[in-house]
Amino acid sequence: MKKILIVEDERNFARFMELELMHQGYAVTVVGSGREGLETATRDAWDAILLDAMLPELHGFEVCRGIRRAGFETPVIMLTARDSVMDRVSGLDSGADDYLPKPFAIEELLARIRAVIRRSKRGIGAAQAALAYRELRINPVAGTVSKAGAVLELTKREYELLLVLMNHRDRVLSRAMLLDLVWGYDCEVETNVVDVYVRYLRNKIDDPAQRSYIQTVRGIGYVIRS
C-alpha cells in the first residue's frame, strides 16, 4: 500500500483529500502545519507528499526546500490557490515535482499522484555514461554539469531539463513531451513553464557570441542539434 503525506491546514479540504485517497487504496497521514510537515516528511518514507504552499509556522516552499536539503527525493506536489507563472516556478524551484492550483478536480490530483510516483520509480537521473556536446559535459552519476571544465550551478529542474534534451539530441521535443519527461505531468496543463526554464538554462549555458545550445522549433518545441 502506497503511503501519502498531506500537509494542509484547511481541515475540511484535508479531510476531503484524505477520504478520496483512502478510497483509492492509499495509506494517508495528515498534518496541519509546516513545521510538523517537515518533521513528518523527513522522519518516515513516503511515496508522495501533497504540500500546501500557505501553511502556519513554516511556508510550504521552505518545507519543500527542507525536505530536499535533508536528502529526501520523495515526490512533492505543491497545492496552492496562487496560479501565476512565477508562483509555479517558485514552487518548482523549491524542489517540488509538480504544482497544482486550487480548486482542482480530484481526478486530476489522482492522475498527478500516479504520474509523480511512476516517474520516481523510473528515475530520470539513473546512472549512465557521461554526455558531452561542444563545451558542455553532463555527469549523470554525480548530477553535475560543466562547461569548458567549469562546473555550472543549475537547479534540480534545470539539470533535468538539460539532461532530457541531451539524451534526445537531434529529436524535437514538444513542450507537452518535456512536461511529461521532466515534470511528470499526466494530463493537459499549461506549457509556458517549459519556456521559462529554457530561458533560465540559456542564460546559464549559452555564450552570446555563439549559437544557442537549445534551438527553438517554432510552433513545436525545443531541440539540441548536433
All cell numbers assigned to 69: 536539503
pLDDT of residue 83: 62
Q: Return the H-helix or E-strand segment holding 159.
A: helix 156-167
pLDDT of residue 126: 44
Question: Over its length of 226 residues, how does the chain's per-residue pLDDT go in tens digits?
Answer: 799 999 999 999 999 999 999 999 999 999 999 999 999 999 888 999 999 998 998 989 899 989 888 878 889 999 987 666 666 676 677 888 888 888 889 999 999 999 888 877 654 544 456 788 999 999 876 778 999 889 999 888 898 899 889 988 888 999 888 887 787 654 445 668 899 999 999 999 999 889 999 999 998 899 999 8
Helix axes 192-205, 156-167, angle to 10 degrees: 90
What whole-number distance in Å separates Cα of residue 133 and Cα of residue 111? 36
All cell numbers assigned to 68: 530536499
Of 77, 73, 76, nearest in space to 100 by CA? 77
Give the CB-side neighbour count of residue 47, counting CA atoms within 13 A: 18
pLDDT of residue 211: 92
Of 135, 133, 129, nearest in space to 151 by CA? 135
pLDDT of residue 87: 65
pLDDT of residue 178: 87
Q: Cβ(167)–Cβ(182) under 8 Å?
A: no
pLDDT of residue 127: 44
The residues near 12 (Cβ < 8 Å, ≥ 6 apart) are none
Q: Return the H-helix or E-strand segment holding 90.
A: helix 85-93
Q: Cβ(42)–Cβ(48) under 8 Å?
A: no
The residues near 196 (Cβ < 8 Å, ≥ 6 apart) are 85, 89
